[in-house]
Amino acid sequence: MTQYQKLISYIFAFLVLTYYSFNNTQITLNGIVQQGILVILAALFILYLFTRPFTVKELIIYFLFALLGIISYINNHSTLFIILALSLAVFSNFSIKSLFTLFIIYRSIFITIIIFLSLIGVLNNSGRDMFKSNVENAVSTYSLGFGHPNQAAQAVGILLIVAFLLMFRNKDLLLEKSLFGIGFIFLFYWLTKSRTFLICCVLALIIGIIKWIPFFKRGINWISKGYILIEGIIVFFGLILPALFTRFSASPIISILDRIASGRISFSASVFSSYPLTLFGSNFDSGFTELQHIYGMGKYAVDNGYISFLFTYGLIFTIIYFVMLTILIKTLIQKEQYYFVWIVLIVSIWGLFENIVWIPTLNVTLLLWAQGLNEKLNYRKVKRVIHDKEQTF
């Protein structure tokens, strides 16, 4: 990868992170600024096309993704798939280590600034009572400059998980790194009381630690075959069960699962009964407002990220999402990056409980589509060994 290519990739990644980082915060990025970023991203994409030769197969795929991105924008006014289409080329030779290092630096600074502004009163940090299962379980939480305490937990949690991926590349200072992770996890759980944050971050931390213990190594590596089972569970609980919920709602097991998920399954099922499922999605900028007729005014936010993704982007783009996710996982398995596969799946599981699937700064698997697709296309087979070394953690 030349210095020119690397510079374009870094600038592109910086702008993508800027474009999405303000989501879920109390600061809104001006529409003109967003449009300006999109124009620069498109210009960087065009510049990158002149930096190295592309095969006809690659160019056709980039064109098809760009076309799908335009179709998506027409239907739901979202630029996500346009940006993802541009990233396929620009990130095609960008190492995952470089991308995630930039991600950690950028998001650490950004989140710190947002929290600092909330602590000095510029942004709202008022405590609020949240009910986790019933009235008796009300707890005090803080938004820390984000729109909701859970959104603060999402931002910090995903940053921690990506940091764990780099931190546990080796077992040096294993105890110190473990204590660092434990400290941050429980600090932000105390502030936000997000159980999803706690479970996902603790799981990522535990796997990062025990992967260096020989006794547990086979269990960690099980994911090379078991990933399809976890993907199946995600699809079942995220999409299939909500679609069929009304048929099985009388089942005690389903009722228990719904209560454990704080009503997310039944709430998601209401989307299927209130809106049509389309091939290319619909515009839900105002949320699933029809649900207010069922649950009352102000209650229309669907926490199941896959339901939001399915109805916003449609059946075709949801299928594309899971195909690209599977390609990425298979690429990591070929490189024997089993801990990385666990991280990808943990982030994917988080999407069952929070609406993070469509946001690249939270669902970091979106940033890695180019890495998986690049291997699938077998770009520069002669230099495969060198390329693999650059991509390996």
- Average pLDDT, integer, range 242-262: 78
In this prediction, residue 305 carries a pLDDT of 94
Claim to verify: residue 350 and residue 231 sit in the same structural domain: yes
Q: For the residues of 12-23, what is the DSSP string, one character each?
A: HHHHHHHHHHTT
Claim to verify: residue 239 and residue 372 sit in the same structural domain: yes
pLDDT tens digits along 96-105: 999 999 999 9
- Rounded to whole angstroms, the Cα distance separating 217 from 384 reads 27
Residue 256, pLDDT > 90, answer no
Percentage of the chain beyond pLDDT 70 is 89
Per-residue confidence band for 283, with pLDDT thresholds at 50, 70 and 90: confident
- Average pLDDT, integer, range 14-42: 95
- Rounded to whole angstroms, the Cα distance separating 53 from 7 reads 18
- Average pLDDT, integer, range 254-261: 80
Claim to verify: residue 227 and residue 371 sit in the same structural domain: yes
Q: What is the domain range of residue 189?
A: 102-214
Per-residue confidence band for 250, with pLDDT thresholds at 50, 70 and 90: low
Q: Which of 37, 69, 94 is the last residue of a domain?
A: 94
Claim to verify: residue 57 and residue 35 sit in the same structural domain: yes
Claim to verify: residue 146 and residue 208 sit in the same structural domain: yes
Q: Which of 170, 188, 214 is the last residue of a domain?
A: 214
Claim to verify: residue 257 and residue 379 sit in the same structural domain: yes
- Rounded to whole angstroms, the Cα distance separating 317 from 324 reads 10
In this prediction, residue 129 carries a pLDDT of 56
- Average pLDDT, integer, range 153-161: 97
- Produce one character per residue of 118-139: b if its CB has 16 or more CB atoms within 10 Å, e if not: beeeebebeeeebeeeeeeeee
In this prediction, residue 389 carries a pLDDT of 46
Nearest to 271 by CA among 306, 247, 297, 236: 306
Claim to verify: residue 144 and residue 192 sit in the same structural domain: yes
Give the per-residue SS3 of 25-53: ECCCCCHHHHHHHHHHHHHHHHHHHCCCC
Which one is predicted more confidently, 24 or 137?
A: 24
Residue 53, pLDDT > 60, answer yes
Nearest to 141 by CA among 198, 92, 194: 194
Per the structure, how many domains does the chain have?
3
- Rounded to whole angstroms, the Cα distance separating 15 from 34 reads 10
Residue 269, pLDDT > 90, answer no
Claim to verify: residue 256 and residue 366 sit in the same structural domain: yes
In this prediction, residue 386 carries a pLDDT of 39
Which one is predicted more confidently, 341 or 381?
A: 341
pLDDT tens digits along 195-226: 999 999 999 999 999 999 988 888 888 999 99
If you search the block for the tokens 């603790």, which residue do you land on? Answer: 202
pTM: 0.91
At 130, give phi and psi (nearest 5°).
Answer: -120, 145
Q: What average pLDDT does the structure give for the chain?
A: 88
Claim to verify: residue 231 and residue 365 sit in the same structural domain: yes
- Rounded to whole angstroms, the Cα distance separating 71 from 240 reads 25
Residue 186, pLDDT > 80, answer yes
pLDDT tens digits along 306-334: 999 999 999 999 999 999 999 999 999 99
- Rounded to the nearest 10 degrees, what angle do helices 195-210 and 174-192 cross at? 170
Residue 287, pLDDT > 80, answer no
Claim to verify: residue 364 and residue 249 sit in the same structural domain: yes
Residue 293, pLDDT > 90, answer no
Do 83 and 363 contact (CB within 8 A), yes or no?
no
Do 182 and 209 contact (CB within 8 A), yes or no?
no
In Å, how far are 180, 217, 218, 286 from 212, measured between CA atoms?
17, 7, 11, 47
Residue 81, pLDDT > 60, answer yes
For residue 109, the Cα-to-chain-centroid distance in whole angstroms is 19
In this prediction, residue 138 carries a pLDDT of 64
In Å, how far are 87, 108, 148, 226 from 217, measured between CA atoms?
34, 31, 38, 14
> What does the DSSP 8-state code read for residue 128?
E
Contacts 24+ apart (CB under 8 A), 37-41: 38/79, 38/82, 38/83, 40/15, 41/12, 41/15, 41/16, 41/83, 41/86
Claim to verify: residue 173 and residue 63 sit in the same structural domain: no
In this prediction, residue 38 carries a pLDDT of 97
Residue 4, pLDDT > 70, answer yes
Pull the structure tokens for residue 244.
Answer: 């069929």
Residue 390, pLDDT > 60, answer no
Nearest to 318 by CA among 81, 73, 17: 81
Residue 292, pLDDT > 90, answer no
Per-residue confidence band for 262, with pLDDT thresholds at 50, 70 and 90: confident
Pull the structure tokens for residue 232.
Answer: 């199946």
- Average pLDDT, integer, range 46-73: 93
Claim to verify: residue 249 and residue 380 sit in the same structural domain: yes
pLDDT tens digits along 370-386: 988 887 776 444 344 43
Give the per-residue SS3 of 134-200: CHHHEEEEECCCECCHHHHHHHHHHHHHHHHHHHCCCCCCHHHHHHHHHHHHHHHHHHHCCHHHHHH
